[in-house]
Structure 1
């Protein structure tokens, strides 16, 4: 994929500096906005530095960070509604959580809210473009609800492959290890995830990876997948799904203690 990075129109020095820094860290060429011209003919995607964050333009899609889905879930929990994470995990205040598949960061944000000020969230994303967009977004002020921005800033995003990261983790590093891999069979209603699918790293979970997750987790390993996914092939027998949902969660309860 041929990608360039540029800035929004009429950039200030701060945007240009950010663009140059991202060009170096992502190893993609920086093209000043006024010189972009005919370069579009040979370019597959644009990464644009704006005052609101990073935006990737690809074909007819835009990829950018916004915590909208997570905000709805958090507001629902505050209103007394049951969330899938609280149903599965119960009270997890103070827990350390490894989100192996950050993506847009919605689940990481809900984990951050549920684990509270004394909890910790480490979120891994292998794809450098998705990582750059979301990690930049987590620093922003996207909501008038100040706490949402605080929850986002408590997340520690890392541009890492989860297999390598888990393999290097000491035993019992995190309370919960969570996987939400890109589904092999996409859910048609999840149209908001279509831009993410264009960049997301493809790779299936195996029983061996789950076993590494079990070594690293103290209390729970949780896997999210399509409702029709066969969890038994990765060694998971306990599953949970809401009747109205197209997704299902595989659960391994460890409770190793401290």
Structure 2
């Protein structure tokens, strides 16, 4: 369970804002009353706490573990692109102009930011996040974070974050309605060194990626579906992609499933 509260010494306006956020996300709001976050976590049996502060929202998941919006590894990827380097997700999406892009597991927003930066012509970027509190934080960052480079800020502003599970969203879409659909599910074998997920492990939606999910996504997609996983993942053995992209020594790979070209081993 997630609860919503405010920082210590919050103003009346901040308390009202927190109550409004809680109502919007259908989460309980609890007054802070000078209590520590670990104490509130114990009293209310909360898995995590969304804290509304004057500097922006924070997601508290345990003692010493707080998540706020940041560019994470996307900043290094942006620098690589600006220097003429290759980004494997951008390569998987391709150079053809986009009209729509759906990130089914937007999380911290890093992957969608890269695609939006490379394809500024695309008018429709949707990022789905199944954890409402995380969706709120990522959406807040996309609306308020200002980068020193206008193109990066503009890329963030193009992202529309929706607090919804991808299974529900895909079931509601017309076939052939979205150009490219992207998934970054929880890896079969986690990359333990990933610093951007410190404090969030165990607090994310960890539903398994299935053949039925891929089939539905391919029905909704106009061009392709892209799935990020470890190069040796069983997923890529049972649901063989059209292409598998990634660096020679990369710990992750991008499986590209072109429309009408999927090869199944299930």
TM-score normalized by structure 1? 0.89
- Residue 252 of structure 1, aligned match among 235, 257, 261: 257
- Residue 183 of structure 2, aligned match among 171, 179, 182: 179
1:98-177 equivalences in 2 (<5 Å): 98-177=102-181
Corresponding pairs, count: 255
Structure 2, unaligned stretches of length 5 or more?
262-266
Residue in 1 aligned with 2:56?
53
The runs of at least 4 consecutive aligned structure 1 residues that moved more than 6 Å come to none
CA distance in 2, matches of 1:15, 1:39: 18
CA distance in 1, matches of 2:97, 2:11: 42
1:25-104 equivalences in 2 (<5 Å): 25-36=24-35, 39=40, 41-43=42-44, 44=46, 45-59=48-62, 60-104=64-108
CA distance in 1, matches of 2:165, 2:7: 31
Higher helix share: 1
TM-score normalized by structure 2? 0.86
CA distance in 1, matches of 2:198, 2:96: 31
Quick check: 1:71–1:148 contact (8 Å CA) kept in 2?
Answer: no
Structure 1, unaligned stretches of length 5 or more?
none
Residue in 2 aligned with 1:236?
241
| Stretch moving more, 28-37 or 238-247 | 28-37
Residue in 1 aligned with 2:264?
none
CA distance in 1, matches of 2:229, 2:5: 36
Q: Secondary structure at the match of 1:195?
A: coil
| Stretch moving more, 70-79 or 213-222 | 70-79
CA distance in 1, matches of 2:22, 2:131: 15
CA distance in 1, matches of 2:114, 2:24: 28
Residue in 2 aligned with 1:217?
221
Quick check: 2:72–2:196 contact (8 Å CA) kept in 1?
Answer: no
CA distance in 1, matches of 2:72, 2:41: 31
| Stretch moving more, 229-238 or 162-171 | 229-238
1:199-210 equivalences in 2 (<5 Å): 199-210=203-214
Is 1:197 aligned to residue 201 of structure 2? Answer: yes
The alpha-carbon deviation at position 190 of structure 1 amounts to 1.0
Is 1:16 aligned to residue 22 of structure 2? Answer: no
Q: Secondary structure at the match of 2:106?
A: coil
